[in-house]
């Protein structure tokens, strides 16, 4: 079922997550089946209304919106991590599927790669 | 006037082992300043229940879309952050 990029690093604090997103977009651009799983602190990428002007960084929200255009098959979020960080449908970006069991999801993919 | 004994500046996520080490080191008379990824603790269910004053850098809160859940921390801007450091006898950047 293709490659699963796992992003468990928080947004903005370090660059590892962005590198994983770029890797996922590159794979998708070369028609490799790829999906992304946000877990742990990585689910914080998915919160809406990120205003990053004062930290001089591009909002990851904008990067994420490009995922379908690149052909990323699906974006998943670990349900437990979302609960832990107070994330729900009302404050998450659209098009993200809640994954009840991240391990099963990882096992369903032929390749898995992590950020950082 | 140094009314803060030790100012602990934390930039790690709540899950990072150093976050727990920082919390264990808090003593009465200290203060905790959350910056960068550490502000995510304010969104976490468990929340940073600590008996020392907790501050958080506003630009990092806003960048992560956490505006509405910064309730148990006092938001500071950069000048106020510098002022905090001048009020502390010791500063630890975890």
For chain B of 94 residues, list the mean pLDDT of each consecutive stretch of 10.
93 93 94 96 76 94 88 92 96 94
Q: Residue B37 is nearest to which of A13, A86, A87, comparing CB atoms? A: A13
- Output the CA angle A83-B40-B8, nearest 5 degrees: 140
Taking residues A108-113, report their average pLDDT: 91
Q: What is the pLDDT of residue A8?
A: 92
CB atoms inside a 10 Å sphere around CB A69? 10
User: CA A110: distance to chain centroid?
Assistant: 18
Domain boundaries, chain A: 3-113
Distance from CA of A23 to the nearest CA of B (A): 22
The chain A residue lying nearest B10, using CA atoms, is A13
- The pLDDT, as a whole number, for residue B48 is 60
Domain total for chain B? 1
Provide the CATH number for the domain around residue B57.
3.40.1260.10
Structural domain harbouring B42: 4-93
Interface check for A62 against chain B (CB to CB < 8 A): the answer is no
Q: Quick one: average pLDDT of A12-29?
A: 89
User: What's the CATH fold of domain A3-113?
Assistant: Hypothetical Protein Ychn; Chain: A, (3.40.1260)
């Amino acid at each position: 079922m293709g490659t699963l990029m796992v992003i468990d690093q928080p947004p903005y604090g370090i660059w590892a997550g962005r590198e994983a997103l770029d890797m996922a977009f590159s794979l998708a651009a070369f028609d490799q089946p790829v999906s992304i799983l946000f877990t742990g602190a990585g689910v914080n990428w998915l919160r809406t209304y990120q205003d990053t002007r004062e930290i001089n960084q591009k909002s990851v929200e904008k990067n994420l919106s490009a995922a379908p255009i690149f052909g990323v098959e699906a974006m998943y979020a670990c349900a437990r991590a979302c609960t832990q960080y107070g994330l729900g449908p009302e404050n998450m970006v659209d098009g993200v599927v809640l994954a009840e069991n991240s391990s099963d999801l990882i096992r369903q993919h032929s390749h898995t790669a992590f950020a950082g | 006037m140094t009314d803060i004994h030790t100012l602990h500046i934390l930039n790690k996520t709540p899950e990072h082992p150093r976050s727990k080490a920082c919390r264990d080191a808090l003593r009465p008379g200290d203060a905790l300043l959350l910056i960068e990824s550490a502000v995510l603790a304010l969104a976490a269910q468990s929340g940073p229940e600590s008996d020392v004053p907790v501050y958080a850098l506003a630009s990092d809160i806003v960048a992560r879309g956490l505006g509405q859940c910064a309730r148990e921390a006092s938001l500071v801007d950069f000048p106020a952050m510098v002022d905090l450091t001048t009020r502390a006898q010791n500063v630890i950047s975890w």
